[in-house]
Amino acid sequence: MSISEKRYWLIKSEPETFSFDDLEKKKTSVESWDGIRNYQARNYMRDDMRVGDLLLFYHSSCSVPAVMGIAEVVREAYPDYTAWDTKSSYYDPKSSKESPRWFMVDIKYKTRLKRPVTLTEIKATKALSEMLLVKKGQRLSIQPVSKKHFDTIVSLSTK
């Protein structure tokens, strides 16, 4: 695999907090993916996400959990400054400017799927049975996705 090869991810967001609509409205600007407070998810962002990687934007904790569209990484990991903000709900006294504990990337709207691909549908699709999303106990808010799974989701949305 070449260094520049694109990787694929799934990121979860609660639509009541930040929906794909919200991202789409900000089409021309970038959005900081802040507030990630899980080490494994942080490691994926910090160590493996590169500019140009594509992200399946998934709505979780809502009436119809589903992949809504695609976003793109436009800035690689840098310290999540909300961890230093005592007024932020993401404040973490253990993260300092000298030694930041949490990181974030910047993302940007890319495309909306022709229609949402629901969790129910993903579970019912044999080709997607190995996706982390549908693995038991898998709650990571940032997950690697294979190109094959990524392409399958996109093609499902056109049917």
Partner DNA sequence: GCCAACGTTGGC
Separation CA 113–CA 111 (nearest Å): 6
CB of 93 to DNA, least distance (A): 10
Q: Which is nearer to DNA, 86 or 137 (CB)?
A: 137
110 binds DNA (CB under 7 A): no
138 binds DNA (CB under 7 A): yes
139 binds DNA (CB under 7 A): yes
Binding mask 54-83 for DNA (x = CB under 7 A): ------xxx--x------------------
Q: Which is nearer to DNA, 14 or 85 (CB)?
A: 14
124 binds DNA (CB under 7 A): no
149 binds DNA (CB under 7 A): no
Q: Which is nearer to DNA, 29 or 91 (CB)?
A: 91
